[in-house]
Amino acid sequence: MRKMSLFLSLYVSLLAGSAFAQDPKSGLAASFAAVEPKVIAWRHDIHQHPELSNREFRTARIVAEHMRNLGFDNIRTGVAHTGVVGTLVGGKPGPVIALRADMDGLPVLEQTGAPFASAARGEYNGQDVPVMHACGHDTHVAMLMGAAEVLALNRDQIPGTVKFIFQPAEEGPPPGEDGGAIMMIAEGVLDGSDAPEAILGLHAWPGDSGTLMYRSGGFMAAADGLQINITGVQTHGSSPWLGVDPIYVAAQITTAIQGIPSRHLDITNSPAVITIGSIHGGVRGNIIPDKVEMSGTIRTFDGGIRETLHAKLRSTVHAIAEANGATAEVIIEGYAPVTGNHPTLLRQMMPTLEWAAGTENVHESALITGAEDFSFFQERIPGLFLMLGINDPDVPRSERPSNHSPFFIAEDSALMTGVRTLVGFALDYAAAAGD
């Protein structure tokens, strides 16, 4: 009996050892340790030298040179203007997967006080503007560069092929230009012999440093740009009855359309938001102008709700304009569909996320009304999009600057969780999907 027990214990131990040896992530500790200071240095450098959408020339050169030095099998530059795509073929047979990072900054004046704060400037809409990585794209680039190095140094452990997509213009291309994820897809990044079957993206978020946040299904809102052009009749400010005041009409429209989500939609089904962020009209206080231009954004989480909201918005605007003797033009341009997490893929990869961040650091998130053009990739192939916490947990959540704030900044301590997540997805996807 004792011999049988000893035999079973030895057999179980051998099985456990064999399973451990088959885990391609088990021998990466040294690679992660070696790349961490590089990731931090890349992040600081990129943060200090941000570039606006479709103008990410310096960042693209750094990324392309890095992949050349790592011996990537194929590198494409100039994709969707400034995008870079690199392909790394692993040492084992398997599928093709993609990892994506966005590269562009924003026209924001940085006020973080960080030693690597940006003093860069650029041109936006014909104006000279400050430029800042106010949405964490500097961390996205640095983390994907780090993952590229770890995977290249351990390519014999990769089951299949990894495609690295460094995307420009996630914040939206400049007026009159194409760009972003939709243009990269149009230029073939998801096609050909190395077409990926799944994709992963990460985004810096004001959660606790090193945490990963997910939500199955729809996660981030669909976003539409809104432009309303109102035409009245110009007259003297002392005699408004002699003309048609488009500013007065714009004020009524602003109030009315913001009430559509709360008064005309079933908010128990799906939330929605309409915001007017810009109103321009007139040149001086005693002249009622003939035109007012309004611009804003629409956020929804459901296709049916989106269509209903658009229709109600148009009818409301036209009715208010007509009632006041004005005319109105409504232009709605889609930015991105809903971004989310493919339920089956999320379930399959959950052990990898828990390995990357620690089980206690992987949390389900509430809906986020921000939007992401990563959703265009997900329209073609299953994808995961995860929020990476980047803030000191001792700072109250109410005091953490939001994305797009001039005070937005990421803790360096969060970066390696992102690198581990990207690497883990590349190494585990084949087995997880097979299971």
pLDDT in tens, 321-377: 999 999 999 999 999 999 999 999 999 999 999 999 999 999 999 999 999 999 999
Residues 190 and 275 in one domain: no
Active-site annotation holds for 45:
no
CATH number for position 226: 3.30.70.360
Strand order through the sheet with 222-231: 272-280, 291-300, 222-231, 327-336
Give one DSSP letter per residue of 14-25, joined into a string.
HHHHHHHHH-TT
- Among candidate residues 51, 56, 104, 224, the one labeled active-site is 104
Same domain, 81 and 188: yes
In three-state secondary structure terms, 353 is: helix
Please enumerate in sequence order all residues whose Cβ is within 8 A of that of 73, keeping only pairs 6 or more positions apart, or say none.
Answer: 87, 88, 89
pTM of the model: 0.90
Q: What is the C-alpha separation between 252 and 240, in angstroms, rounded?
A: 16
- Determine the structural domain holding residue 306 and report its residue range: 222-336
What is the predicted pLDDT for the residue at 267? Answer: 85
Which residue ranges of the chain lie beneath pLDDT 50?
1-21
What values do phi and psi take at 343, rounded to 5? -55, -45
Token pair recorded at residue 163: 């495609």
d(CA 82, CA 104): 10
Which single residue is written with the structure tokens 């009818």? 315
Question: Where among 288, 314, 336 does a domain terminate?
Answer: 336
9 within a domain of the structure (yes/no): no
For residue 423, report the phi and psi dihedrals to the nearest 5 degrees.
-65, -45
Can you tell me the distance from the alpha carbon of 101 to that of 422, in angstroms, rounded to the nearest whole number? Answer: 10
d(CA 225, CA 143): 30
Known active-site residue 123: no
Helices (H), 358-408: 375-380
Distance CA 330, CA 277 (A): 15
- The CA dihedral of 16, 22, 23, 25, to the nearest 10 degrees, is 130
CA-only gyration radius of the chain, Å: 25
Catalytic residue, chosen from 56, 149, 170, 372, is 170
Q: What are phi and psi of 16, to 5 degrees?
A: -65, -40
Torsion of CA 295, 181, 418, 349, to 10 degrees: 110
Helix (H, G, I), strand (E, B) or coil at 325: coil
Whether 354 and 401 map to the same domain: the answer is yes
**Largest distance between two CA atoms of the chain:** 106
Q: Is position 365 within any domain? A: yes
Place of tokens 């870079």: 84
The per-residue pLDDT for 435 is: 61
Sign of CA dihedral 150, 152, 153, 158: positive
Are residues 302 and 366 located together in one domain of the fold? no
Strands 362-364 and 212-214: parallel
The DSSP symbol for 247 reads: H
Tokens 């959660």: give the residue.
207
Per the domain annotation, does 6 fall within a domain?
no
Q: What is the CATH number of the domain that holds 379?
A: 3.40.630.10
Q: Are residues 346 and 399 in the same domain?
A: yes
Number of domains in the chain: 2
153 and 71 both lie in a single domain: yes
**Length of the chain (residues):** 435
User: Which tokens is 115 given?
Assistant: 């030693």
Composition of the chain by helix, strand, coil, percent to 5 = 40, 30, 30
Which of 303, 336, 369 terminates a domain? The answer is 336
